[in-house]
Amino acid sequence: MEKVIFTPIGVVINAFDEPTDPKTMRNSISTLALDPKYAGALEGLEKFSHLQVIYYFDRSPGYVENIHPMGDPSIPMRGVLATRSPCRPNPIALTLVKMISVKGSDVEVAGLDALNGTPILDLKPYVNHFDAPVGLERERDSSYKPWDCGSKM
């Protein structure tokens, strides 16, 4: 299949230069330091309580087919795509975080489990209607036109 190429939109800045107790990481603050050219693209993000951060597991040890979930040998091995391990075919991470603030092109968040210096690929506002299973049971708004995105409409 044809390769897909992305340019990170910024990097994570926090206190964790190496893997740390996940509870500590999830209770900490990180700055998503985006390229300043994206300051305008963040307009309105501060109104959301939570964000989904898609980042690159740049220190993934590489793909393995099966793994003990959460590195716990007491849990039976499982296909890596049935876990959230970094050792997946494309080392893409997704973490839900709490919004603290947006200042220029810096987004301060709580709960990110990424290491310091991690490349950020995308941010999305968390919307319960789309991102929680309950939303899938409800009727969707038929006026939603995700592909209709002319440059200045």
* φ and ψ of 108, to 5 deg: -95, 130
Site string for its own copies, 129-148 (x = CB under 8 A): -xxxx-xx--xxxxxxxxxx
121 lies in the site for its own copies, by CB under 8 A: yes
Of residues 32 through 61, those in contact with its own copies by CB under 8 A are 35, 38, 40-45, 47-50, 52, 54, 56, 59-61
Of residues 77 through 106, those in contact with its own copies by CB under 8 A are 78-90, 92, 94-98
Residues 110, 28 contacting (CB under 8 angstroms): yes
17 lies in the site for its own copies, by CB under 8 A: no
- Residue entry with tokens 């050792």: 87
Q: Measured from the CB atom, is 22 or 103 closer to its own copies? A: 22
What does the alpha-carbon distance between residue 46 and residue 99 come to, in Å, rounded to a whole number? 7
- Residue entry with tokens 């003990």: 68
Lookup: tokens for 99: 């919004």
Residue 104 beta carbon to its own copies: minimum distance, rounded to whole angstroms: 12
Instruction: Please report how many Cα atoms fall inside a 13 Å half-sphere around the Cα of residue 113, on the Cβ side.
Output: 17
Residues 13, 108 contacting (CB under 8 angstroms): no
13 lies in the site for its own copies, by CB under 8 A: no
65 lies in the site for its own copies, by CB under 8 A: yes
Residue 13 beta carbon to its own copies: minimum distance, rounded to whole angstroms: 14
72 lies in the site for its own copies, by CB under 8 A: yes
